[in-house]
Amino acid sequence: MDGMCRTRFRLCALAVGLVVLALPARSRTAFAWAAGDGYYSLINRHSGSALDVIGASTESGAAVIQYLGHLNANQQWLLREVVATPQVTTADAIRFLEQSTWGPTPELVAHVQSVGFEQFLNEQFEAASSSYPTLPLYPTTRDTVACPSGSACQRDNYTIYPVQNRFFTNALYGPDQLRQRVAFALHQIVVVSNVDITQPSWMTPYLQVLDRNALGNYRQLLYDMSLNPAMGNYLDIAGNTKAVPNENYGREILQLFSLGTFRLNPDGTQQLDLTGQPIPAYTQETVNNFARVFTGWQRAAAPAPGVPNYLDPMVANQSQHDIGAKTLLNGAVLARAGQRVARGDTVAWHSLRVTSILSLFLWFVTTLIGAALPNAL
């Protein structure tokens, strides 16, 4: 019986799906007679009697006997193919965890071997986000009497120490390991710098955007990031005026955050023109027009004098928004009539095609996670 149970087929009784026997594929024609609608009557070779659920019971645990064959429903059995769950080796589990978490532990390795790769990923998708706390805002200029150099006040409010400490705490103990790995990867692309974002309370809302969108929609990530005050500081969206549009963010959202400098094929290779040269994804004129799209944003109202608001999304300053017509990507034109800041952003999002980022994340999935789930894409 044990040998037969390792074969590809099981017999499932009509009695609440009770599994009673395993039938080798090579033997099923000798033992089974077709009974219609995919069901079979199983006949014993020695006695000629049929496998029968006694008393035609439909209760779980009903007894099964051999009985004179009559092809009633209690003698009909469904042959169903069993798809074997591949065993996760220790080496495969370790490799998978090195790439989808901050590193394997004996407990994580055992868990992956127990539930499999796909279930582990589903658990990670549902895991609560560790993320970063919202810290109190402090004045840009430190009060050297109330918060002297070398004090805990300076360390906790004017250096990046609390953010660094929380990062390692999350990495070591947080349940949302996959979210943290993806957010960290996004941080290398949609980047700000502590050189400019000097206070921890200025940095954590930016990191919260990455964590919140790490397993979500990339368009939403770009939208939220475009209104984040830390990004507004770093790439000059905050205070961007129609008189002198700053192209920093308009260029980076094209070059680094979405398209890349050249058009790409679905496999990530560069598209070439008839002379074999890479085809640019956009022109300087495109950058100029995107720079004009991102005019008219400023930080929300300060909670106190000298304390800039890095907690709330930036707000529109309509008087500083360039309302002139703009030609963006893929033929999208933002007309002058009725143009407002939010509408300009919406048309810009729809004109973007994030082929460069898509290629990077296809690489992430196929190289890191896809090695364990080859049919996931």
What percent of the chain lies above the pLDDT cut of 90? 53
Dig out the tokens for 82 from the structure: 């069993």
In a domain, 314, yes or no: yes
In a domain, 149, yes or no: no
- Per-residue pLDDT of 85-110, as tens digits, reads 668 999 999 999 999 999 999 999 99
Three-state secondary structure of 101-136: CCCCCHHHHHHHHHHCHHHHHHHHHHCCCCCCCCCC
Q: Which amino acid is at 349?
A: W
CA angle, residues 203, 204, 210, in degrees to nearest 5: 100
* Residue 179 burial (CB count, 10 A): 25
pLDDT band at 36 (very low <50, low <70, confident <90, very high): low
**HSE of 175, CA atoms in CB hemisphere, 13 A:** 9
End-of-domain residue from the set 50, 81, 112: 81
For residue 198, the model assigns a pLDDT of: 96
What percent of the chain lies above the pLDDT cut of 70? 77
Q: What is the average per-residue pLDDT within 353-358?
A: 52
Q: What is the average per-residue pLDDT within 136-163?
A: 97
The whole-angstrom separation of Cα 127 and Cα 359 is 26
In a domain, 198, yes or no: no
- Per-residue pLDDT of 266-300, as tens digits, reads 777 889 999 999 999 899 999 999 999 899 999 99
In a domain, 54, yes or no: yes
Per the DSSP assignment, residues forming a β-bridge with 21 are 11
For residue 372, the model assigns a pLDDT of: 39
End-of-domain residue from the set 65, 81, 97: 81
In a domain, 47, yes or no: yes
pLDDT band at 126 (very low <50, low <70, confident <90, very high): very high
In a domain, 324, yes or no: yes
pTM over 0.75: no
How many residues are recorded in the chain? 377
Bridging pattern class, strands 326-327 and 333-334? antiparallel
pLDDT band at 344 (very low <50, low <70, confident <90, very high): very low
Angle between helices 248-255 and 284-293 (to 10 degrees): 120
- Per-residue pLDDT of 195-244, as tens digits, reads 999 999 999 999 999 999 999 888 889 889 999 999 999 999 999 999 99
For residue 258, the model assigns a pLDDT of: 84
Dig out the tokens for 342 from the structure: 């939010």
For residue 125, the model assigns a pLDDT of: 95
- Per-residue pLDDT of 245-258, as tens digits, reads 999 999 999 898 88
In a domain, 88, yes or no: no
In a domain, 16, yes or no: yes
Q: What is the average per-residue pLDDT within 64-69?
A: 88
Dig out the tokens for 176 from the structure: 């949302």
Average pLDDT of the chain, as a whole number: 81
> In this structure, are 223 and 371 located in the same domain?
yes
Give residue 26's domain range. 4-81
Q: What single DSSP character describes residue 55?
A: G
**Residue 35 pLDDT > 70, yes or no?**
no
CA angle, residues 159, 161, 164, in degrees to nearest 5: 135
- In angstroms, the Cα distances linking 24 to 9, 28, 85, 203, 367 are 7, 6, 18, 63, 38
End-of-domain residue from the set 60, 81, 102: 81
Total domains in the chain come to 2
Q: Which CATH number characterizes residue 68's domain?
A: 2.80.10.50
Q: Give yes or no for a contact between 204 and 163, defined as CB atoms under 8 angstroms apart.
A: yes
Dig out the tokens for 121 from the structure: 């990923």
**Residue 13 pLDDT > 70, yes or no?**
no
For residue 41, the model assigns a pLDDT of: 84
